[in-house]
Structure 1
Amino acid sequence: MAESSIDISMVTNSEMEGVPSSQPPSNSDGATQQTPEELVGRAIAPIKREFLRPPPPSRTTQNDAASDANSSANAKQSQSSLVKEKKSKRQLKRERRQEQKSSLNLCPEIAKTGDVNACPYKNKCRFSHDIQAFMAQKPADLEGECPFVRADAPCPYGLACRFAGTHKDGASAASANVLKKSSEVNGLSKDVQKLLWKNKMRFTKADAVIKSLGLTGPNWKIKKLVDKEEDKVVSNGSHAVSETECKLVANDSVDCSECPPTFSPADNVEEACASDELRPSKKAKSVVDEKCCSDEVENDATVLEKDVEKNSTETESVHTADDMLAEPDRSLKIHPREKKLIDFREKLYLAPLTTVGNLPFRRVCKILGADVTCGEMAMCTNLLQGQASEWALLRRHSSEDLFGVQICGAHPDTVARTVELIDKECTVDFIDINMGCPIDIVVNKGAGSSLLTKPLRMKGIIEAASGTVDKPITVKVRTGYFEGKNRIDSLIAEIGSWGATAVTIHGRSRQQRYSKLADWDYIYQCVRKAPSMLQVLGNGDIFSYLDSKNHRSDCPELSTCMIARGALIKPWLFTEIKEQRHWDISSGERLNILKDYVRFGLEHWGSDRKGVETTRHFLLEWLSYTCRYIPVGLLDVIPQRLNWRPPSYYGRDDLETLMASDSAADWVRISEMLLGKVPDGFTFAPKHKSNAYDRAENG
């Protein structure tokens, strides 16, 4: 993205009212008298004195102290009054149903066509069919053009679109219902989702590899018995309950009234080994629950059941061969040299980033120079249970020419099944396994950085995943679990032989989190110990082109650097690295980047009310990071370091001053410039802390 004159006509004078003047104060005192070197030593950004804000007046009187105490007490009381009562899942579901029926949610088919008779569900539809009531409460259209009209395609949101006034005549009519082919892939089909919901998806490759590696688990014999019983049922073409099943039902007194019509042996190792894995509220049905229900449907087989029978017939021979194996068949494992390798050298890699690293953000980074992109971390168990929200993390845009997905699991069978499912249903270039996530909920279930304390489990996961698919398997790790007890250097030689083609090392331990700078000397040590066939990438505190350049020159064996938080704060970092310069980007150019993000967000999440507010939410999450950027022209020492804490300062214009604010209210104002006024009662609190410090016991 080249520097150019930027049109910021969207930012009017009225929108900038109340923004602190960008005119710097005439003088300043106090801590600002320190030299830039002293400020850098204290990790405080050395901003030029003429741009610093004067310190707030000190309060020393007892009256001021009393007023402060009263205000804090009132704040706590108001905060406690805002705490919402805990609602049951049934109550929340009932409220969602009622909201869907309200005039706020017009039926998508009616909104698309404008015809009240277009909905095939008629009175049974979950949404409102009252067009007049919907239009009466619909807020005014937003400024700008509908992103779907710009793409020369009829808008799929029709009347519900917040840019409906810009639609072309007849663009949303039924005759123009053929939409342009989506530029996003890796969606979850309904048929596959139903199979996953009912635990009826077969994973023949993963199960065979798991058995060949001897990682079947303690309940494998029970699973084989279930498989044999199911094979008998399928081969006989009958849904009758076997004698063994009847005994189980009689002994356990199981009520079959709520069971699904058929049973499939898809539970096997997942049911046996993933009891302590991350799972949502929906629990998998037991083997007995599945088996006792096979007599409920005889002639009216659904499409889902036909698919299951087809899969069972195709894979019956595979299961028979597996049962005859007396010794593990090591030939099933694919040698790393047989895989399609990806050369990460000299490529700029955007790290998988939770919450903020969504598809619109990755599109922005691609425009600004990123070469490799990776989706947000997805939990294996959630993917295997068909959660639509988790599968959305695997979405890929056509502009992402080198794209991978990142998964996280605690057991070899869970990870192997997930990579097989992704290989079947998605278009990806590589699959990354996260073994460094420090979040408590992940670590407590045995996944993420918890695996760093279990090298045998790491080996099983990498071997199982690598042996199941032909896609390259990469791994992301930290230096270790505990501070001062690094261990990746002792494992780096083995990771390549286990089947990984690349490993990314984040130069921090799990316990350290972000309390200190990344240890790049240790990363260099690991790189030099790695085998030649294993590519090693470094990660941590890359915030300027000099950081990347110095790391590559200090360790030529390093393949490349992965960029994470630096891209969140200034996504134009990729441009700086490629052009080898410090970009003193203007506020107008930064606003244009936000405009691109909003347009990509509306295309991804939708241009209706829900899509606009979803785009706003993720924009605000991103703004909680971008406010930490300090313009190059304001610094006494260049470049800015990632651990510097910026003091309060004025920008060179009102917009730059607004963008430097760490107040959520100012972030909301920026969102209103791009997406219109927020709804009544709108509040925002960032999901993640954007600062570089956190309690060590939290990871």
Structure 2
Amino acid sequence: MQIGSITLAGRLALAPMAGVTDLAFRQICREHGAALTVTEMVSTKALCYQDKKTPRLLALGEDEHPAAAQVFGHEPETMAEGAKIARAVSGCDIIDINMGCPAPKIVNNGDGSALMRDPALAARVIEAVVKAVDVPVTVKFRKGWDEKSVNCVEFARMAEAAGAAAITIHGRTRAQQYSGKADWDAIRAVKQAVSIPVFANGDVAEPADVVRILEYTGADAVMIGRGALGDPWIFERANALIETGVCPPLPPFAERIGTAVRQIELAAAQKGEYIAMLEARRHVNCYLKYERGLKTFKTRICALERLEQLYGIAEELKQTVGG
């Protein structure tokens, strides 16, 4: 599929998730079939103020193309300047604008899904970013602010008119956060309303969900978020299901826990062992989500401090679970 001048080799993308989709996790997901990866969201204001930590979130892997850098903010001029910096720092192929994040600390500043309450301002933001960068611009947003103000169809049309090359629609309102059920009917309505590519997002937890959401909504592609946590194989398994109608099984547990260890090793090389081990407490436990009876191991993982500890736990897990 095409996003402006950029060609994607598949229909599945890894959704940006703050504190989750770092370079290490994105690399693992690409190796397992994600056709597009997106950085964690970065503040354009922080980029413009030359914050030293923010550019690190934009680092892409050597072979991480095509990839998008996701930015957030609500001031058109700052968004334009920050997007230019993000493009220069990362070498990304696409700039994605976050207009869907529901976190209070984001929306209380007028960013993320708060922009769905002011489509006119959102349009000016998109237009400013499109004029500022030399790559396609995409927009990620939600069904609406709440059930009383569902405006995703109008918002999608606005984004297209403002110059967006593609959009991603999450089928929940801001009020829902990540609870309840994603509204695939809303996604289908958005797809029918615009001519640019549409990524469907929400309630995609297994390969069969990928096929169902594509068929039900008519979307061009799927952006997978939480479903990929601890399961990067969801991409290659869903790709196979789309292409052949047959979904391969998950790999043996030993391979899965080995991949978890490799992900944390990559993270440690990129950001240091201390930070990587703090983040490993969540990531490694996600790799155990299909197993039962491992409460003691999960507790130990939540106390990880060194790679050496992770190696020991991984070997014990292989012997306990087997396969």
TM class by shorter chain equals 0.7 to 0.9
Q: Which residue of 1 aligns with 2:310?
A: 674
Q: Which residue of 1 aligns with 2:300?
A: 665
**Which of the residues 138, 146, 160 maps onto 1:474?**
138
> Unmatched 5+ residue regions in structure 1?
1-338, 606-610, 632-648, 651-656, 678-699
**Which deviates further from its counterpart, 489-498 or 348-357?**
489-498
2:201 aligned with 1:539 = yes
> Unmatched 5+ residue regions in structure 2?
242-246, 314-323
Counterparts of 1:431-510 in structure 2, within 5 Å, are: 431-510=95-174
Checking the alignment, whether the CA contact within 8 Å between 2:257 and 2:287 is kept in structure 1 is no
User: What per-residue deviation string (whole Å, max 9, x for no partner) do you get for residues 249-269 of structure 1?
Assistant: xxxxxxxxxxxxxxxxxxxxx
Higher relative contact order (CA 8 A, sep 6+): 1
SS in 1 for 2:198: strand
User: What per-residue deviation string (whole Å, max 9, x for no partner) do you get for residues 482-527 of structure 1?
Assistant: 1343101123222111010011000000001122111111100111
Q: Are the structure 2 counterparts of residues 377 and 518 from structure 1 closer, same or farther at C-alpha, using a change threshold of 3 Å?
A: same
**What is the Cα deviation at residue 366 of structure 1?**
1.4
Instruction: For 1:424 and 1:506, locate their aligned partners in 2 and report how far apart those are by CA, in whole Å.
Output: 28
2:286 is aligned with what amino acid?
Y
Structure with max Cα Rg = 1
2:19 aligned with 1:355 = yes
Taking structure 2 as the reference length, the TM-score comes to: 0.87
**What is the Cα deviation at residue 623 of structure 1?**
2.8
Checking the alignment, whether the CA contact within 8 Å between 2:113 and 2:142 is kept in structure 1 is yes
Q: Which residue of 2 aligns with 1:576?
A: 237
2:213 aligned with 1:551 = yes
Instruction: For 1:518 and 1:675, locate their aligned partners in 2 and report how far apart those are by CA, in whole Å.
Output: 38
Q: Are the structure 2 counterparts of residues 630 and 424 from structure 1 closer, same or farther at C-alpha, using a change threshold of 3 Å?
A: closer
**Which of the residues 604, 622, 631 maps onto 2:270?**
604
Instruction: For 2:278 and 2:311, locate their aligned partners in 1 and report how far apart those are by CA, in whole Å.
Output: 11
Checking the alignment, whether the CA contact within 8 Å between 2:138 and 2:165 is kept in structure 1 is yes
Checking the alignment, whether the CA contact within 8 Å between 2:102 and 2:174 is kept in structure 1 is yes
Q: Are the structure 2 counterparts of residues 345 and 602 from structure 1 closer, same or farther at C-alpha, using a change threshold of 3 Å?
A: closer
Q: Which residue of 1 aligns with 2:63?
A: 399
2:266 is aligned with what amino acid?
F
Q: Which residue of 1 aligns with 2:182?
A: 518
Checking the alignment, whether the CA contact within 8 Å between 2:202 and 2:224 is kept in structure 1 is yes
Counterparts of 1:20-31 in structure 2, within 5 Å, are: none
Checking the alignment, whether the CA contact within 8 Å between 1:619 and 1:671 is kept in structure 2 is no
Instruction: For 2:9 and 2:33, locate their aligned partners in 1 and report how far apart those are by CA, in whole Å.
Output: 15
Instruction: For 1:587 and 1:498, locate their aligned partners in 2 and report how far apart those are by CA, in whole Å.
Output: 47
Q: Which residue of 1 aligns with 2:33?
A: 369
1:535 is aligned with what amino acid?
P
2:228 aligned with 1:561 = no
Checking the alignment, whether the CA contact within 8 Å between 1:598 and 1:674 is kept in structure 2 is no
Instruction: For 2:265 and 2:301, locate their aligned partners in 1 and report how far apart those are by CA, in whole Å.
Output: 21
Checking the alignment, whether the CA contact within 8 Å between 1:479 and 1:488 is kept in structure 2 is yes
2:252 aligned with 1:617 = no
Counterparts of 1:195-206 in structure 2, within 5 Å, are: none
User: What per-residue deviation string (whole Å, max 9, x for no partner) do you get for residues 590-639 of structure 1?
Assistant: 1210222133123312xxxxx22222112113134334x225xxxxxxxx
User: What per-residue deviation string (whole Å, max 9, x for no partner) do you get for residues 24-66 of structure 1?
Assistant: xxxxxxxxxxxxxxxxxxxxxxxxxxxxxxxxxxxxxxxxxxx
**What is the Cα deviation at residue 394 of structure 1?**
0.3
- Larger fraction in helix: 2
User: What per-residue deviation string (whole Å, max 9, x for no partner) do you get for residues 541-589 of structure 1?
Assistant: 1112211112222233x11000000011422111211222152433211
Checking the alignment, whether the CA contact within 8 Å between 1:544 and 1:582 is kept in structure 2 is no
Checking the alignment, whether the CA contact within 8 Å between 1:344 and 1:560 is kept in structure 2 is no
SS in 1 for 2:223: strand
SS in 2 for 1:349: strand
**Which of the residues 574, 581, 587 maps onto 2:253?**
587
Q: Are the structure 2 counterparts of residues 667 and 426 from structure 1 closer, same or farther at C-alpha, using a change threshold of 3 Å?
A: closer
Q: Which residue of 2 aligns with 1:408?
A: 72
Moved over 6 A (4+): none
- Larger fraction in strand: 2
Q: Are the structure 2 counterparts of residues 675 and 454 from structure 1 closer, same or farther at C-alpha, using a change threshold of 3 Å?
A: same
1:566 is aligned with what amino acid?
G
SS in 2 for 1:446: coil
Q: Are the structure 2 counterparts of residues 425 and 570 from structure 1 closer, same or farther at C-alpha, using a change threshold of 3 Å?
A: closer
Instruction: For 1:424 and 1:525, locate their aligned partners in 2 and report how far apart those are by CA, in whole Å.
Output: 36
Counterparts of 1:58-457 in structure 2, within 5 Å, are: 340-344=4-8, 346-457=10-121
SS in 2 for 1:507: strand
Instruction: For 1:444 and 1:398, locate their aligned partners in 2 and report how far apart those are by CA, in whole Å.
Output: 36
Q: Which residue of 2 aligns with 1:43?
A: none
Checking the alignment, whether the CA contact within 8 Å between 1:539 and 1:561 is kept in structure 2 is yes
2:233 is aligned with what amino acid?
W
Q: Percent identity?
A: 30
Instruction: For 2:133 and 2:21, locate their aligned partners in 1 and report how far apart those are by CA, in whole Å.
Output: 26
SS in 2 for 1:622: helix
Instruction: For 2:287 and 2:122, locate their aligned partners in 1 and report how far apart those are by CA, in whole Å.
Output: 36
SS in 1 for 2:70: strand
Instruction: For 1:662 and 1:478, locate their aligned partners in 2 and report how far apart those are by CA, in whole Å.
Output: 37
2:59 is aligned with what amino acid?
R
Q: Give the number of aligned pairs.
A: 306
Q: Which residue of 2 aligns with 1:265?
A: none
Checking the alignment, whether the CA contact within 8 Å between 2:98 and 2:140 is kept in structure 1 is yes
SS in 1 for 2:262: helix
Q: Are the structure 2 counterparts of residues 425 and 355 from structure 1 closer, same or farther at C-alpha, using a change threshold of 3 Å?
A: closer
